[in-house]
A and B are shown apart, each in its own frame.
Chain A
Amino acid sequence: MTRIAITAGILVLGAGLLWRYPLFHVVPLGQAASQERGETFNAKDRAEEYWRARIIPHLADAHDVATVFASLASDPEQARSRFGRTVGIGQSTFFLLRGEGTIVSFNKNRIGVALSDGTSGPNLLISIGPVFGNAVRDTTGAIAADEFSRSSDFNDLAAELNLLVENRVEQPLAKQAKVGRRVRFVGCIELRDDKAARPLTLIPLEAYVE
């Protein structure tokens, strides 16, 4: 009798605890946000979607390139915290910048831009070659790693976004670029080290040649 009472007590207590602290929730399959595992992740489609919805709308938030460069020259730490974005425990800081300048040099991978009139050499390089790294994906801060169940999906997205920038921004820019013409741009810079070689290289996210 005692044993039955103890067993019943434990069962009731267990049921109460499970009711208060459930182990899982049952949801309709279609509604479940948890179905990511079951879907085939299509990095190309996702890159297209995120480019339109998560990157382009944020270009308006870009900081003026001259202001950021001046701040980097005088106080890099403050410039990083004020204008940049650091992801996780990485050493890199991403800057979203806008500005304009005159094209002063040109090769198959880089366009040299003089930001201020009267400067003879380039003080910014704009990439028109292969894009590597995570700057395109991570600079705006609108794409979070925890949206992805697998880190490989997150990495694939970065690669697809880089490809999209190469095809959609860099190639038209490379066709129009000529020494002496003015260029307006919004783009991202990844700064790993304050002593990184200058001029810095910007990955264009939007660019117009006049």
Chain B
Amino acid sequence: MREHLRKLQSVVALVIMATALGFATDKFLTIENGVNVLRQISVNVCLSIGMTMIIVAGGIDLSVGSVLALSGAVAAGLLKTGLALTPLDVALQFTTLGAIVAGIAVGAALGLFNGVAITRFGLPPFVATLGMLSIARGLTMLWTGGHPITTLGSEFGFLGTGAVLGVPMPVWIAGGLTALFELVTRRTRFGRHLYAVGGNERAAALSGLSVNRIKLAVYALGGALAGVAGLLTAARLDSATPNAGFGYELDSIAAVVIGGTSLSGGRGTIIGTVLGCLIIGVLNNGLVLLQVSPFWQQVVKGFVILAAVAIDRASRGED
């Protein structure tokens, strides 16, 4: 019973916020604004699904914002100008599908690099991913020359600005990934292993789980999802900017924590994280509609995160 009530906390908080904002501004409770909020949180949902799995497995990834930027930039660059293989005297002209695959592959590769640094070299996840935060941002600057890569074409743009049945594509993609990874974490062996590794890594190892392999996989998945977020960001803006995703890791971690995932690992759900994304999205949207200064928005958001974690810990009876 208590567990059910705890799970409902995020939903209750969301309903209270939505009701209050509905009274405060008549622009909030409209279908158009609802779709707008969903579209705005799509990128954070993609990042946060990966972040949830990483945190559940006992890690953390501070590099997702930079990985997002590099993945988007690589996809945009390959799509726009291709890749010259000078020694072979040929060039690869990428199709839209090729650029998408390359963007996700870059994200996965960087995530895998994080995993290798953590599992093979024993670096703490905080330090390894902090290093990647800087590496990926620098590589993005090198790849783009510090300039945005713009006008990526309508096919690629459809990912970010298109709609099917009136629902924007980013919402479809974020929704699809939510369903897929909810299934993966709840119904598959890999999902159960994640919780086992995050709950007690030593016990998981002693019971025969390949802890390092699971960690490698989860960091690679987190990177790939950051790659998807990068594609959505570039497609939505029709531009891959070198400073894209700056600070997104904090929004992502906030959504995961608000959604009830324990920062010490072993506990959390994808659905909870999506609710966390929704709470942050509704909060951002509401503060904008209420014309609250952006400076105050940061302050309010910080307090909401603190309150959410405090309430969550109190409801679990933790110290």
Task: Determine, out of A49-57, A64-72, A149-157, A161-169, the stretch whose residues face the partner at the interface.
Answer: A149-157
Contacts of B148 in A (CB 8 A): 150-151
Binary contact track A135-153/B, C-beta < 8 Å → 1, others 0: 0000000000110111110
Nearest chain-B residue to A28 (Cβ)? Answer: B90
Contacts of B291 in A (CB 8 A): none
Tell me if A149 and B149 are in contact (CB < 8 A).
Answer: yes
Tell me if B90 and A34 are in contact (CB < 8 A).
Answer: no
Task: Determine, out of B5-13, B93-101, B175-183, B264-272, the stretch whose residues face the partner at the interface.
Answer: B93-101
Contacts of B147 in A (CB 8 A): 150-152
Please report B residues at the A interface, Cβ cutoff 8 Å. 77-78, 80-86, 89-95, 97-98, 101-102, 145, 147-151, 153, 239
How far is the CB of A164 from the nearest CB of chain B, in Å?
Answer: 23
14 A-B residue contacts at CB 8 Å?
A23-B94, A23-B102, A25-B93, A29-B84, A29-B85, A29-B86, A32-B82, A32-B93, A34-B93, A37-B80, A37-B82, A38-B84, A148-B150, A150-B145
Query: What is the bound-complex CA distance between A26 and B85, given in angstroms?
Result: 10
Is A90 interfacial (CB-CB < 8 Å)?
no
Query: What is the bound-complex CA distance between A24 and B151, given in angstroms?
Result: 19
Query: What is the bound-complex CA distance between A149 and B84, given in angstroms?
Result: 15
Query: What is the bound-complex CA distance between A29 and B90, given in angstroms?
Result: 4
Contacts of A120 in B (CB 8 A): none
Band of interface residues on A: 20 to 34
Query: What is the bound-complex CA distance between A24 and B92, given in angstroms?
Result: 6
Is A35 interfacial (CB-CB < 8 Å)?
yes
Tell me if B89 and A28 are in contact (CB < 8 A).
Answer: yes
Interface on chain A toward B: helix, strand, loop, or mixed SS? mixed
Is A19 interfacial (CB-CB < 8 Å)?
no
Query: What is the bound-complex CA distance between A116 and B81, given in angstroms?
Result: 51
Tell me if B97 and A32 are in contact (CB < 8 A).
Answer: no
Nearest chain-A residue to B153 (Cβ)? Answer: A146
Contacts A29-B90, A151-B150, A152-B147 known; A24 to B95 CB distance under 8 Å? yes
Beyond contacts A23-B94, A26-B93, A150-B150: 9 other A-B pairs, Cβ-Cβ < 8 A, are: A28-B91, A32-B91, A35-B82, A36-B81, A37-B81, A145-B150, A145-B151, A150-B147, A150-B149
Looking at the complex, which one of B81, B89, B91 makes contact with A149 (CB distance below 8 Å)?
A: B81
Q: Which of A38, A146, A149, A151 has the most CB of B within 10 A?
A: A149
Query: What is the bound-complex CA distance between A93 and B93, given in angstroms?
Result: 36
